[in-house]
Amino acid sequence: MFERIFPLLLIAALGLAGCGEAGVTGEGSEGSERVGRTEPGESIAGGFSQVVGASGEALDMERVSVRDFGSLDDGRQVSLYRLGNAGGNSVEIMDLGAAIVSLRMADRDGALADIVTGFDHPQAYADGNGYMGVVVGRYANRIAGGRFTLDGETYQLAVNSGSNAIHGGVRGFDKQLWRVEAETREDRASLELSLRSPHGEEGYPGTLEVTVRYTLTDSDRLIIDYRASTDRATIVNLTNHAYFNLEGHGAGNILDHELQLNADTYTPIDAQSIPTGEIAPVAGTPLDFRQPKAIGRDIESPFEQIQRGSGFDHNFVINQAQPGALTRAATVYSPRSGRVMHVHTDQPGVQLYTGNFLGGTVPGKEAVQYQTRGAFCLETQHFPDSPNKPQFPSTVLRPGELYRTTTIFSFEVRP
């Protein structure tokens, strides 16, 4: 299903080195290394551990490593994987929700900082606190009434946002443990996570086979490749829900970040944040980010759309030369840190969310108390409620078809 670019090097949980054990034995092979897929819920002892390739060689721990991240209240074990590059930047991803837990990038002075929000323990993610860093699905964003009709049959989904469905339902992909494989190459390291979503889960039709592949390159690009296939007609819309603060995850609000969106139009929302079906121009509105603009400049505007979202929480229609073309969707710049993030995607839309409800009582990583508008999201996607809006690009996936999409977050610094 997943079209691999280069030979696979598989995870082995050898984190017991230094604890008096030589490794983990494989089934039916006394004393041999277990080289293969890390299954959901497997416990890995100790700190970050080496990953072993398919031929038995230990991969460079600066490229890929793994450690135990703790257990959930239901007893499931969660593992945390680290991908690093030659410049010392890194990303940490856990198997619960295929979530980005940390992303460390250097600023203009070379100082590293973690620029995504998150938690120090997996249970906070399982409790659904803001979908931080997770992959959301089977359908990202909202579906009105939690209901849609496909091929003449109406499906009722689990509703978890008032009377609507959002981000896959009560037990979406963000609450599940994914299988993990890893590979390295001379200039990059990759982690591939896979999941099977059975027919009827959260009300969705069809058994869906999903893979999400994260790749960190030496050129400071974080590439996310999504793939899915189904055994019967269904709908699919996958994205990552990372919250960014380019000054550091605990640095305060992001109102001075300068944002540029490659979008002439957006999809207006009603009072429940469901698209009205209109595609409207951004010109002359506070939603016009065609030229770089501080996020905070118009965030308190009396404009009705801003009031409905309590700030920015809108889907923008990306200007694409042709549907499916990999296109720059956004650029964000932090004047204080000098960090710049570019977002490229082949998806038709991107949801800008400015952490309007981020403030709360759950402490984040390093005991940081995240504040309202303390981070922003740029969720590449198909449009919200597309299954009920035939004028929007289709999200239907049928047997024999391959859902595939790529989003790239690339980083640089300005003096």
Mean pLDDT of 348-353: 98
Give the Cα separation of 115 and 185 in Å (integer): 25
Which is the catalytic residue, given 42, 181, 183, 241?
A: 241
Residue 304 appears among annotated catalytic residues: no
CB 230 within 8 A of CB 206: yes
Model pLDDT, residue 86: 95
pLDDT tens, residue by residue, 182-209: 999 889 999 999 999 999 999 999 999 9
Nearest by Cα to 214 from 198, 203, 225? 225
Residue 213: asked if its preceding bond is cis (omega within 30°), the reply is no
Q: How many domains does the chain have?
A: 1
Q: pLDDT band at residue 11, thresholds of 50, 70 and 90?
A: very low
Using DSSP bridges, classify how beta strands 142-143 and 258-261 pair: parallel, antiparallel or unpaired. Answer: unpaired
Nearest by Cα to 214 from 408, 3, 15? 408
Report the CATH number that the domain containing residue 116 is assigned in CATH.
Answer: 2.70.98.10
Q: pLDDT band at residue 359, thresholds of 50, 70 and 90?
A: confident
12: in domain: no
Assigned token pair, 166: 């959002």
Mean pLDDT of 384-393: 98
Residue 379 appears among annotated catalytic residues: yes
Give the Cα separation of 358 and 368 in Å (integer): 12
Report the percentage of the chain scoring pLDDT > 70.
Answer: 86
Mean pLDDT of 147-165: 97
250: in domain: yes
For residue 57, what are the contacts with CB-CB under 8 A and spacing of at least 6? none
Assigned token pair, 5: 């670019």
203 three-class SS: helix
Which is more confident, 58 or 267?
267
210: in domain: yes
Which is more confident, 24 or 328?
328
Model pLDDT, residue 89: 97
CB 48 within 8 A of CB 67: yes
CB 230 within 8 A of CB 398: yes
3: in domain: no
Residue 85 pLDDT greater than 50, yes or no: yes
Measured from the Cβ of residue 283, the count of other Cβ atoms closer than 10 Å reads 10
Average pLDDT of the chain, as a whole number: 89
Model pLDDT, residue 34: 24
> Where does 139-276 show beta strands of DSSP type E?
142-143, 147-150, 153-156, 165-166, 179-185, 188-197, 208-217, 221-230, 234-235, 239-240, 258-261, 265-267
Residue 24 pLDDT greater than 50, yes or no: no
2: in domain: no
Q: Identify residue 126 by its one-letter amino acid code.
A: A
- Domain of 223? 25-413
113: in domain: yes
CB 46 within 8 A of CB 20: no
Give the Cα separation of 145 and 270 in Å (integer): 13
Give the Cα separation of 395 and 114 in Å (integer): 34
Q: pLDDT band at residue 53, thresholds of 50, 70 and 90?
A: low
Residue 268 pLDDT greater than 60, yes or no: yes
pLDDT tens, residue by residue, 109-147: 999 999 999 999 999 999 989 999 999 999 999 999 999
CB 183 within 8 A of CB 213: no
Model pLDDT, residue 415: 95
Give the Cα separation of 188 and 211 in Å (integer): 19
Mean pLDDT of 59-74: 89
Give the Cα separation of 270 and 403 in Å (integer): 29
CB 210 within 8 A of CB 137: yes
Which is the catalytic residue, given 192, 249, 379, 382?
A: 379
Give the Cα separation of 18 and 299 in Å (integer): 52
For residue 61, what are the contacts with CB-CB under 8 A and spacing of at least 6? 48, 50, 51
**Alpha-carbon dihedral of residues 37, 212, 116, 355, nearest 10 degrees?**
-140
Model pLDDT, residue 321: 96
236: in domain: yes
- Whether the pTM exceeds 0.75: the reply is yes
85 three-class SS: coil
Mean pLDDT of 283-296: 98
407: in domain: yes
Model pLDDT, residue 6: 29
Model pLDDT, residue 282: 98
Assigned token pair, 238: 């996958």
